[in-house]
């Protein structure tokens, strides 16, 4: 298709012009990125070292933290570099790689959230058989299916985008993504936009339906628990997950599930940056602040750390 050799690199053209604003954004973003990486690495190492956190639910959470680190790493370093330097070019290969991983990891996130809701469903609606159903083999299979399925399903749209003819190199966005790339292609991209819309809607809405279905069973089961204490205890095991789900769907649905994939508004660009930079930061905090077991594990580690340092001095 067409003459791809015209464009060998793209420029990311959404950055503010004023140096002061760029430096300010650089500092904020660098802090956010560092915090995100630290917070998520902390959650992962906590889950892998504290014995009472070694259950499927926390392994899924560890996967989510790992995903969050990758997700911001796909976007943040390039974003930081572009904010500081005048030069805002990204190579064709780099751009396609970023597009692929952004789409891939976003897809993994939704499937993973759905798997986590299924895990909560089994734990609350079928507690006696939980260890039987959610054994380590099943949870490993679910996770592998999630990463593998996402990896394959975003292959086609990415390959299509790779083979398009491009006539302009100015991308009106902070990072490479399918929608802004389609805007600079020379051909009519409406059919591709339709495929893309269909895929995004399929992933986001079907995982949303699955999650909502699990939660309707969970809530009806919780409401049938006679004691208030029992109800609270059951609810507390899924409170952090509900928060994550609301944030993920609340932010993504408006940007990605709509027929026209054109990024026309500045709002979309800012929303996309919030999704990639701020949401991965929130996850570890939501879990460490709202989940008793994680808090307990954290306290345990802190105590050991403090007593070790005291002994040394």
Binding site for ligand NAG (CB under 6 A): 56, 59, 62-63, 66, 139-140, 143
Looking only at the bridges linking them, the beta strands covering 170-171 and 89-91 are unpaired
For the chain, the distance separating the N- and C-terminal CA atoms, rounded to the nearest angstrom, is 69
Q: How far is the CB of 56 from ligand NAG (least distance, A)?
A: 6
Closest CB to ligand NAG among 43 and 164?
Answer: 43
Helices (H) and strands (E) in the chain, counts: 12, 3
Q: How far is the CB of 142 from ligand NAG (least distance, A)?
A: 7
Q: How far is the CB of 138 from ligand NAG (least distance, A)?
A: 9
Q: How far is the CB of 143 from ligand NAG (least distance, A)?
A: 4
Q: What are phi and psi of 121, to 5 degrees?
A: -60, -50
DSSP state of 134: T
Q: Tokens for 187, please give them.
A: 């051909």
Closest CB to ligand NAG among 71 and 256?
Answer: 71
CB atoms within 10 A of CB 191: 10
Non-local (6+) Cβ contacts of 151 within 8 A are 104
Q: How far is the CB of 63 from ligand NAG (least distance, A)?
A: 4
Closest CB to ligand NAG among 30 and 151?
Answer: 151
Provide the β-strand partners of residue 12. 171
Closest CB to ligand NAG among 66 and 130?
Answer: 66
Q: From 151, 160, 123, select the one nearest 67 (Cα to Cα).
A: 151
Q: How far is the CB of 298 from ligand NAG (least distance, A)?
A: 17
CA distances from 127 to 123, 133, 138, 170 (A): 5, 10, 16, 55
Looking only at the bridges linking them, the beta strands covering 9-12 and 170-171 are parallel
Closest CB to ligand NAG among 196 and 283?
Answer: 283
Closest CB to ligand NAG among 101 and 263?
Answer: 101
């Amino acid at each position: 298709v067409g003459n791809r050799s015209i464009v060998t690199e793209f420029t990311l053209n959404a950055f503010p012009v004023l140096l002061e604003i760029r430096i300010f954004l650089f500092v904020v973003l660098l802090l956010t990125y560092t915090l995100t990486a630290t917070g998520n690495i902390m959650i992962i190492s906590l889950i892998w070292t504290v014995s009472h956190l070694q259950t499927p639910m926390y392994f899924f959470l560890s996967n989510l933290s790992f995903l969050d680190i990758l997700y911001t790493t796909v976007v943040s370093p390039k974003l930081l570099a572009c904010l500081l330097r005048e030069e805002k070019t990204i190579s064709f290969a780099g751009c396609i790689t970023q597009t692929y991983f952004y789409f891939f990891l976003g897809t993994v996130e939704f499937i993973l959230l759905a798997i986590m809701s299924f895990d909560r469903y089994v734990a609350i609606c079928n507690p006696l058989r939980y260890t039987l159903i959610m054994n380590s083999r099943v949870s490993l299979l679910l996770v592998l299916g999630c990463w593998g399925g996402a990896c394959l399903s975003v292959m086609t749209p990415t390959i299509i985008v790779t083979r398009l003819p491009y006539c302009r190199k100015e991308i009106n966005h902070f990072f490479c993504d399918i929608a802004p790339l389609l805007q600079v292609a020379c051909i009519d991209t409406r059919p591709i936009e339709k495929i893309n819309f269909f895929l995004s809607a399929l992933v986001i809405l079907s995982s949303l339906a699955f999650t909502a279905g699990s939660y309707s069973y969970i809530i009806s089961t919780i409401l049938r628990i006679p004691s208030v204490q029992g109800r609270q205890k059951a609810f507390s095991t899924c409170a952090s997950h509900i928060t994550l789900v609301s944030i993920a769907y609340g932010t993504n649905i408006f940007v990605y599930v709509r027929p026209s994939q054109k990024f026309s508004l500045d709002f979309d660009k800012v929303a996309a940056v919030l999704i990639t930079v701020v949401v991965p930061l929130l996850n570890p905090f939501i879990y460490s602040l709202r989940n008793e077991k994680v808090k307990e594990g954290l306290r345990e580690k802190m105590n050991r750390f403090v007593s070790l340092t005291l002994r040394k001095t």
